[in-house]
């Protein structure tokens, strides 16, 4: 089987990496296509995956339309040589149209439920895999699985954090450290949304810097006043760093959800609703704020809890135990498609064998 996986975000590289390794070990062929946006190429290189870079990511609406034509045509041309049996993506319109043109199935993961994006790729997609938390219904093509994207790479079957990350970060054994994530706000699903103001960011940075070491990961270049807090290690080390952090504060849902899987308290600041975050908030793992108001007070409250980390680890374990190994499920689903689609429609509990 030849599998073409299109990714458009660093999180997508993580989402599919364990699946790709397993499929390659079984003798299948896997090819990634990507745009040069953030850390995608670095992550693919780190895993030694075969990939094709389609060029720079476009930000403006006008250039995004041009990109739709350009990137789709590139994937079609690449496909004519690679001859994919199936296409896999996180809601990629480029992969969806390419698969439709070449009459091959396209399987999409979805967790942002951006209506504009979904409307574009859904007509050209055969199946959409979505978590079993509350979210918009996508119709007959939807298959719910008991998990999150983040469990494809952070499930205990696939990930155990490396304690040596502290030494690499220059953190003492009993020293607390914090991680902040700022996003660029130029993704299609970010349009009309908001997070922290720069004044609020300054206040948070000041508070955390007084209580331990601080590291900032930012999609955009930080102002000079904050550059000494830049996360200093390669992006592939971030999950180890998140696992041992005392608190995470960020504007991106992916890293907040990753923290929920790792047992690190997360303060997520974004006006956009996310069903996965809502469920994790019910477990007390993520604290969601639609704007920066009262965020500082929440961080102060968390800092004062001497058993914060232990409580979060216990809550995370409870949540993860209710979910499946998403990678194991995906390997079965793709290898047995389209029969797997029928099985999941008739007997959704079949997936529980992948816990």
Residues 95 and 200 in one domain: no
Contacts of 48 (CB under 8 A, 6+ apart): none
Determine the average pLDDT of the residues in 302-328: 97
Question: pLDDT-derived band of residue 194, with 50, 70 and 90 as boundaries?
Answer: low
> Within this chain, do residues 9 and 122 fall inside the same structural domain, yes or no?
yes
**Predicted local confidence at residue 187, as pLDDT:** 52
The 10s digit of each residue's pLDDT in 62-78 is 667 787 899 999 999 99
Reading the block at residue 315, the tokens are: 């809550």
| Positive or negative: CA dihedral 167, 169, 171, 177 | negative
Rounded Cα distance, 166 and 244, in Å: 8
Of residues 321 and 64, more confidently modeled: 321
Q: Comparing C-alpha atoms, which of 10, 189, 177, 5 is closest to residue 95? A: 5
Statement to judge: residues 205 and 308 lie in one domain: yes
Tokens of 157: 């079957």
pLDDT tens digits along 117-155:
999 999 999 999 999 999 999 999 999 999 999 999 999
pLDDT confidence tier of residue 280, bands split at 50, 70 and 90: very high
Residue 185: predicted pLDDT: 47
- 143/202 same-domain check: no
Domain annotation covers residue 306: yes
* Pair 15, 134 in one domain: yes
Does residue 33 share a domain with residue 55?
yes
Alpha-carbon distances, residue 228 vs 225, 231, 347 (angstroms): 8, 9, 53
Residue-wise pLDDT tens digits, 13-36: 999 999 999 999 999 999 999 998
- The answer on pLDDT for 184 being more than 70 is no
- Residues 40, 125: one domain? yes
Query: Who's near 242: CB < 8 A, 6+ residues apart?
Result: 179, 248, 255, 258, 259, 262, 264
pLDDT attached to residue 116: 87
Residue 193: the pLDDT is 52
Closest CA to 180 of 237, 254, 253, 249: 249
Specify if 160 maps to a domain: no
Domain enclosing residue 333, as ranges: 2-155+324-354
15 is a domain residue: yes
Count of domains in the chain? 2
What is the SS3 assignment for 210?
Answer: coil
Q: What is the DSSP string of 101-151?
A: HTT--EEEEESS--HHHHHHHGGG-SEEEEESSS-----TTEEEESS-TTH
Indicate whether 70 belongs to any domain: yes
Q: 36-45, 91-100, 279-288: lowest mean pLDDT where?
A: 36-45
In a domain, 270, yes or no: yes
The H-or-E segment that residue 249 falls in is strand 247-250
Of 163 and 189, which is predicted with more confidence?
163
- Mean pLDDT within 160-188: 88
Tell me the per-residue pLDDT of 204-231, one tens digit each, with 9 for 90 and over. Answer: 999 999 999 999 999 888 899 999 999 9
Residue 296 has pLDDT above 90, yes or no: yes
pLDDT > 90 in the chain, percent = 84
- Taking alpha carbons only, the member of 71, 77, 106 closest to residue 89 is 106
Average pLDDT over residues 79-97: 97
Does the pLDDT value for residue 279 go beyond 80?
Answer: yes
314 and 184 in a single domain? The answer is yes
User: For residues 48 and 351, what is the distance between their CA atoms, to the nearest angstrom?
Assistant: 30
Whether 68 and 124 share a structural domain: yes
Asked if residue 191 has pLDDT above 60, the reply is no
Same domain for 195 and 148: no
Is the link from the previous residue into 212 a cis peptide, with omega within 30 of 0?
no
What is the pTM for the complete model shown? 0.91
CATH code where residue 58 lies: 3.40.50.2000
One domain for residues 296 and 328: no
* Region 47-66 average pLDDT: 84
Query: Within this chain, do residues 225 and 124 fall inside the same structural domain, yes or no?
Result: no
Q: What share of the chain is helix, strand, coil (3-state, %, to 5)?
A: 50, 20, 35
Mean per-residue pLDDT over the chain, rounded: 94
Q: How far apart are CA 204 and CA 201, in angstroms?
A: 5
Classify residue 219 by its DSSP letter: S
The arithmetic mean of pLDDT across residues 308-332, rounded, is: 97
**Res. 165: pLDDT tops 70:** yes
Task: Give the confidence band of 186 by pLDDT, cuts at 50, 70, 90.
Answer: low
Question: Can you give 152-191 as a three-state secondary structure string?
Answer: HHHCCCCCCCCCCHHHHHCCCCCCCEEEEEECCCCCHHHC
pLDDT of amino acid 56: 84
Q: Can you tell me the mean pLDDT for 280-305?
A: 96
């Amino acid at each position: 089987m030849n599998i073409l996986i299109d990714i458009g975000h660093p999180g997508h590289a993580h989402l599919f990496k364990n699946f790709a390794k397993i499929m390659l070990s079984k003798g299948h062929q896997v090819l990634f296509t990507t745009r040069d946006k953030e850390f995608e190429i670095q992550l693919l290189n780190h895993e030694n995956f075969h990939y094709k870079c389609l060029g720079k990511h476009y930000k403006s609406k006008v250039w995004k339309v041009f990109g739709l034509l350009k990137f789709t045509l590139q994937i079609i041309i690449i496909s004519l040589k690679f001859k994919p049996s199936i296409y896999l993506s996180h809601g990629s319109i480029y992969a969806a149209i390419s698969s439709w043109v070449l009459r091959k199935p396209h399987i999409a993961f979805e967790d942002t439920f951006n209506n504009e994006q979904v409307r574009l790729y859904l007509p050209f997609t055969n199946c959409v895999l979505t978590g079993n938390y509350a979210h918009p219904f996508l119709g007959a093509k939807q298959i719910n699985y008991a998990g999150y994207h983040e469990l494809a790479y952070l499930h205990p079957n696939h990930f155990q954090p490396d304690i040596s990350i502290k030494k690499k970060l220059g953190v003492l054994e009993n020293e607390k450290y914090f991680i902040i994530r700022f996003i660029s706000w130029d993704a299609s699903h970010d349009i009309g949304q908001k997070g922290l103001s720069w004044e609020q960011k300054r206040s948070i940075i000041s508070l955390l810097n007084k209580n331990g070491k601080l590291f900032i990961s930012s999609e955009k270049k930080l102002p000079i006043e904050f550059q000494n807090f830049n996360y200093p290690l390669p992006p592939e080390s971030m999950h180890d760093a998140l696992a041992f952090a005392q608190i995470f504060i960020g504007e991106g849902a992916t890293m907040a959800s990753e923290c929920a899987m790792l047992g690190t308290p997360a303060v997520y600041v974004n006006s956009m609703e996310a069903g996965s975050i809502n469920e994790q908030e019910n477990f007390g793992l993520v604290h969601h704020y639609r704007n920066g108001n009262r965020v500082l007070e929440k961080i102060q409250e968390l800092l004062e809890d001497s058993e914060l980390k232990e409580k979060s680890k216990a809550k995370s374990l409870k949540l993860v135990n209710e979910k499946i190994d998403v990678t194991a499920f995906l390997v079965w689903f793709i290898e047995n498609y389209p029969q797997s689609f029928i099985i999941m429609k008739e007997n959704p509990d079949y997936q529980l064998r992948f816990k």
